[in-house]
Amino acid sequence: MSEKNSLNIMDEHLNDSKRLGWLFSLIGGVLGIVGNMWVFITTYADMMAAEAANEGGCDVIVQYFLPAYTDIAILGGVFYMIGFYGFIRKRKWSYSMAVIGNIMALQGSFWPMVPALDGGITPLYMILFLPNVVLFFLLNRYTGKRKRSRVTLALIVGIGMVLACMNGVAGTNRMLFIGWPIFTATQRLTVVSALAWGFVCHAILVKPQKWTIDVAFGAGILQIGVGFPMAIASSISFDKISMFLAAPVVSLVLLVIIIIPGFWDRIVSPPAKE
């Protein structure tokens, strides 16, 4: 086979990959914009009614945070569509925009399943979350051609992001309706760590920089510093292991990956062709 034919085959394979990026972004955009609007309109009143029957001010949390999470998910759909436009116009930034859309879609569709399950309502947000999990792997493994270890690390970082943001929501409930000072002190900072993990997740997948590991270290330290006190206070008060524990534990795992010399770099270092 001649060198010219080999290059043509490689170009065709790359074009197939980009066309699928176009398709993945379109699917994510429709789910993000149309899907989230439909699910929100369909479930909001029922979730409010179900949570109002429970004690602890959960209906107030749903009243304000469910629209906020829906905003994040719809904006994720917009970024997906920007990525879709970029793919069909052959823009270099198309993959980056699609990854932002995917990260925001996953963030925006996970927590809303929690109050739905708590209120005994079918978690319709699952039909938005699960396809975005699939799109995460399709976008990054097939379209982005990212190696498995890199995608796995980004997935763990993404889990840390979602859990840290959930701690912020749950911490708001404790702060407003129980009045524990520890949650007043930590609620906002756990959201800051979630934002930092989101930036790190995007950087790992799109184009790791020297500062990526530095931001990751800061996000991990912050989440451990505020997450473990939240978990300990909640566990002692309710005499059971607290769900607040999950976010700092994931951050601790990521810190171990960071501090092992050379381990992080071996995982995230992109090939020269990127």
State the pTM of this model: 0.89
CA atoms of 257 and 165, how far apart (whole Å): 22
Please identify which residue in the block is written with the tokens 């398709």. Answer: 23
Q: In the chain, where are the structural domains located?
A: 1-145, 147-274
- Residue 13: what pLDDT? 43
Contacts of 8 (CB under 8 A, 6+ apart): none
- Residue 7: what pLDDT? 36
- Residue 89: what pLDDT? 92
Give how far Cα 191 sits from Cα of 139, 150, 227, Å: 26, 24, 11
The two three-digit tokens of residue 259, written as one number: 């501090």
Please identify which residue in the block is written with the tokens 């749950």. Answer: 170
Which strand (E) or helix (H) includes residue 186?
helix 181-206
- Residue 66: what pLDDT? 95
Q: Are 46 and 124 in contact (CB under 8 A)?
A: no
The secondary structure of residue 46, as a DSSP letter, is H
Give how far Cα 93 sits from Cα of 89, 131, 205, 230, Å: 10, 23, 13, 39
- Residue 79: what pLDDT? 98
Chunked in runs of 10, what are the mean pLDDT values of the chain (274 residues)? Answer: 42 55 96 97 91 74 93 98 95 96 97 89 94 97 94 97 95 85 92 97 94 96 96 85 93 96 88 60
CA atoms of 97 and 87, how far apart (whole Å): 10
